[in-house]
Amino acid sequence: MTETRVRFAPSPTGFLHVGGARTALFNWLYARHTGGTFVLRIEDTDVERSRQDWTEGIQTTLQWLGLDWDEGPYLQSARFDRHLEAAQQLLASGAAYECFCTEEEINARHEARKALGPADPGYDGHCRDLTPEDRARLAGEGRPRSIRFRTPDDGVSSFTDVIRGEVTVPWTTIPDFVIVRTSGAPVFYLANAVDDADTGITHVIRGEDLTDTTHRMLALRDALGIPGRPTFAHLPLLVGADRAKLSKRHGAISLEDFAARGYLPEALANYLGLLGFSLPADESGAAPEIVSLAELAAAFVLARVAPSPAFFDYDKLNWMNGEYIRALPLPDFVHRCRPFGQERYGDRFDADVFTAAMALAQERATTLADAADTAWFLFVPEEEFQIAPDSLERLQKTERVGEILDAVAAHLEVCDWTVEAVDLRPVLDKLAIKPRKGLPAVYAAVEGSHTGLPLFDSIVLLGRERSLRRIRAAATRIG
Ligand code: GLU
Ligand code: ZN
């Protein structure tokens, strides 16, 4: 059996998005499952839109996610000569031809045909059968010159997709397409087909949006005399809650965004691994959801990838991230939160206080950024401390709030400074007020929010003086 060779072939025209990351992950999982090779290829044929820093960013991000590659990165731009050689081969065999049309001419002819009948797909084959004399004359006029691949006039193009089954389109929907631009640069279809063939790719696993391009790549391979076909698997589209293609409107989509918002790479990788793929049910009757990359790789088969669009559920990701956060050893969790704290609190950052606060935050946090945010009340300059509007309203609506705050202050003035001694429940008990009714107001007064870090620990961390000052200040705002 031939060894499995898969590739991830991003275009370096921006940050790596979750869709691309999911494609990379599924390739990696397939390679690791089969003991094959995972190749990274940077498709920088679009020289104007490709940038070196995106190329580097993609690699850093893949590493962050825990995906290592075995070969590459191969830069497509380094192989232009090879692509052009293939184009020459196609010209020589008559599978491709030179086209001298300007874009305006192509568009004008297209519009004219549209006026006469149903729209056709674009180029009309105008330059298909030029004589050598025609070509010499047109070249002499200084016209643009591209190379087009000649597609069949009738019949169908078909391939079998592991996920989608038989995919068939009539050739009439695919016009003769450009494989070398007027600038002399090879076009993506050609470079992609040649590179896959030259690097012995056995399985092409990529996004559903590329399904249509496969017909062109297969036709190019055939015309170049490349034997055999890779196995194709086009992964389901990622959609948001409204079933529309996932985009910025739905939330974070670049991996940099997820990192900046404090998602753990292992949680994100786990979540992405289940977008379109699921593990078989275990003894509990349900498919396991919290799974490591190694467990995903062990279970990964293309036959279990569903063809229907995969719903990107931010709530579920948040839940999963929280699960991973709680599974971290405390020092590791603090270590990962630290850059967020330093970034937020700058000069006021204090490692000991922050560590103690994160120990309190771990139990409830959804993301590292959230966890760092909840420590805000410990680092804010006193004159900038403010109670969030909804929490202030809640405080003001609390029954007998003046009495509560006074009694709490009286207690904190004299009690020992330990979490046990700071416990305010007996104080409320004496007033015959339930903790559930009275404590949110104290949370708001001390932490600026009625849903902050555990209260008694927070008061101890904040210190007697600042806690008392805030509680007294809140007492003046109860109207
Ligand atoms: N470079 C293409 C893209 O980023 C992907 C090509 C492929 O996977 O075949 O959309
Ligand atoms: Zn032409």
Ligand nearest to the CA of 122: 2
In angstroms, what is the span from residue 43 Cα to ligand 1's centroid? 7
- Pair 468, 445: CB distance under 8 Å: no
Confidence bin at 79 (pLDDT 50/70/90):
very high
- Write out pLDDT tens, residues 248-270: 899 889 999 999 999 999 999 99
Residue 195 Cβ inside 6 Å of ligand 1? The answer reads: no
Confidence of residue 38 (pLDDT cuts 50, 70, 90): very high
Q: Is residue 230 within 6 Å of ligand 1 at its C-beta?
A: no
In the predicted model, what is the mean pLDDT of residues 309-329? 97
Q: How far is the CA of 100 from the centre of ligand 2 (A)?
A: 5
Measured in residues, the chain has a length of: 479
The structural domains of the chain, with segments of one domain joined by +, span 1-74+190-327, 328-379, 381-478
Q: Is the minimum distance from the CB of 201 to ligand 1 under 6 angstroms? A: no
| Architecture, CATH, for domain 381-478 | Orthogonal Bundle (1.10)
Q: Is 11 in the pocket of ligand 1 (CB under 6 A)?
A: yes
Selected residue with higher pLDDT from 130 and 115:
130
Per-residue pLDDT at 129 exceeds 90 = yes
Amino acid type, 89? Q
- According to the model, what pLDDT value does residue 371 have? 98
How sure is the predictor about 441, in pLDDT bands with cuts at 50, 70 and 90?
very high
| Residue 10 CB–ligand 1 contact under 6 Å | yes
**Closest listed ligand to the CA of 206:** 1
What is the number of the ligand 1 atom nearest to the C-alpha of 10?
A: 4
The minimum-distance atom of ligand 1 relative to the CA of 20 is 4
Query: Which atom of ligand 1 sits closest to the CA of residue 209?
Result: 10
CA of 214 relative to ligand 2 center, distance in Å: 23
Q: And the tokens for 138?
A: 């047109």
Q: Phi-psi region for residue 374, left (φ > 0), alpha (ψ -120 to 50) or beta?
A: alpha
Residue 50: nearest ligand to its CA? 1
- Of the CA atoms within 13 Å of residue 472, those in its CB half-sphere come to 11
Q: What is the pLDDT of residue 435?
A: 96
Mutate which of 194, 206, 208 for ligand 1 pocket (most atoms within 8 A of beta carbon) = 206
| Residue from 245, 248, 316, 430 carrying the catalytic annotation | 248
Gap from CA of 234 to ligand 1 centroid (Å): 11
- What is the tens place of the pLDDT at every residue in 334-356? 999 999 999 999 999 999 999 99
- 1-74+190-327 classified as CATH 3.40.50.620: yes
The backbone torsions φ and ψ at residue 446, rounded to the nearest 5 degrees and listed phi first, read -90, -40
pLDDT at 275 over 70: yes
pLDDT at position 1: 61
Backbone angles phi, psi at 162, to 5 degrees: -60, -35
Residue 43 beta carbon below 6 angstroms from any ligand 1 atom: yes
The pTM of the full predicted model, rounded to 2 decimals, is 0.93
CA pair distance 353, 208, nearest whole angstrom = 49
Q: Is the CB of 206 under 6 A from ligand 1?
A: yes
Does the CA dihedral 136-137-138-139 come out positive or negative? Answer: positive
